[in-house]
Amino acid sequence: MIMISIINVMPKSKSKLIFLISSEKLPIYEPNIPEPTSREELLKYWLNISLDERTANKVLWLTEGGAKVSRMTDEVCPYLDRPERFDHSPQRYTHTHTHTHTQTPYLVLCKESVWASRCYWEVLYSGWVVIGAACEGAGRKAGDGPCGLGENEESWGLGWARSCYEAWHKGTSSRVADVPQCCTIGVYVDQPAGLLCFYTVETEEDSKKKEVKLLRRFKNPIKENILPGFWVGRQSSCLILKKEE
């Protein structure tokens, strides 16, 4: 099946979509099949994603052909003002078990979206990064309310909170206990099934093969295109990984 990638141009209230045909092929969508339980199974649904500079907050710098986002200083990148760009809109991201950590949600979304399909991608992060996804109509401006990943009903986020992972959705967090920090995170989305999962990706000592460990599973109806996204703090970066040959 040729996957049709739906690229978001602006939030839902002023929605205009451009349809592009991707060169990559994904398995034909079959409902009611078992969820993937291994990295090998997840790789069947690999989606090549790239950052969309039209959505990036102006303190985020995109490099490596749209594969890496960094925020090392508060220097402003010379992006043009656009309706789909995230504004400077301070929010409070609360780590309930240890402390309250305030970050401005400097966000960027990806060009490619997930619709009527299953997709999987992996990222390598450093510093304070929330990895996640958002519906195309999720808020991006100061007047839209909380717009950090996981702070509203239309987005999901996962980040390291000093001593454990925390997953966020609808402004509520859940701790992931007894899992050490891993700098490579996998994200799996089954849009028709309303499923979004976060994984750590590590190399097993015995087999030297990479395997995943499920961190958090969200299950609720998803009625819009899903866009991968990143919330990047100071002195932090995130790199979208390529599929290994």
How does pLDDT run across 53-85, given as a tens digit for each residue?
A: 988 988 899 999 999 999 988 888 776 666 565
Q: What is the pLDDT of residue 138?
A: 72
Task: Name which residue leads in pLDDT, 104 or 190.
Answer: 190
Task: Name which residue leads in pLDDT, 244 or 193.
Answer: 193
Tokens of 202: 């590590």
* pLDDT for residue 178 is more than 70: yes
**What does pLDDT average to over the chain?**
83
Residues 55-77 as b or e (16 or more Cβ within 10 Å = b): bbbbbbbbeeebbbbbbeeeeee
Of 129, 123, 94, 116, nearest to 199 (Cα)? 123
Q: For each of the domains in the chain, give its residue range(s) and CATH number, in order of start.
A: 2-240 (2.60.120.920)
Q: What is the pLDDT of residue 19?
A: 34
Please report, rounded to a whole number, the percentage of residues in the chain having pLDDT higher than 70: 76
The answer to pTM > 0.95 is no
